[in-house]
Amino acid sequence: MGLLFLGNLGAGEILIIALVVLLLFGGKKIPELMKGLGKGVKSFKDGMKDVEQEIEKIN
């Protein structure tokens, strides 16, 4: 319920958030952060596939 405000973000707000992230982490850390985020998403999707396969085995 706390993430409902994310649907109301416009281009200006996204730009400001991106600038704050750039200032906090610096240009060299951003690719590393995105790489880690991508690995996390991939791992989550793989886990979801495993759960779906287990459910199909039961049925």
Q: What is the distance between the alpha carbons of residues 14 and 42, in angstroms, rounded to a whole number?
A: 24
2/38: higher pLDDT: 38
pLDDT, residue 1, reads 45
Which residues fall within 8 angstroms of residue 59, CB to CB, at 6 or more apart? none
Which residues fall within 8 angstroms of residue 22, CB to CB, at 6 or more apart? 30
Query: How many structural domains compose the chain?
Result: 1
27/37: higher pLDDT: 37
The boundaries of the domain holding residue 16 are 4-58
Q: Note the pLDDT tens digit of each residue in 6-24.
A: 567 788 888 888 888 888 8
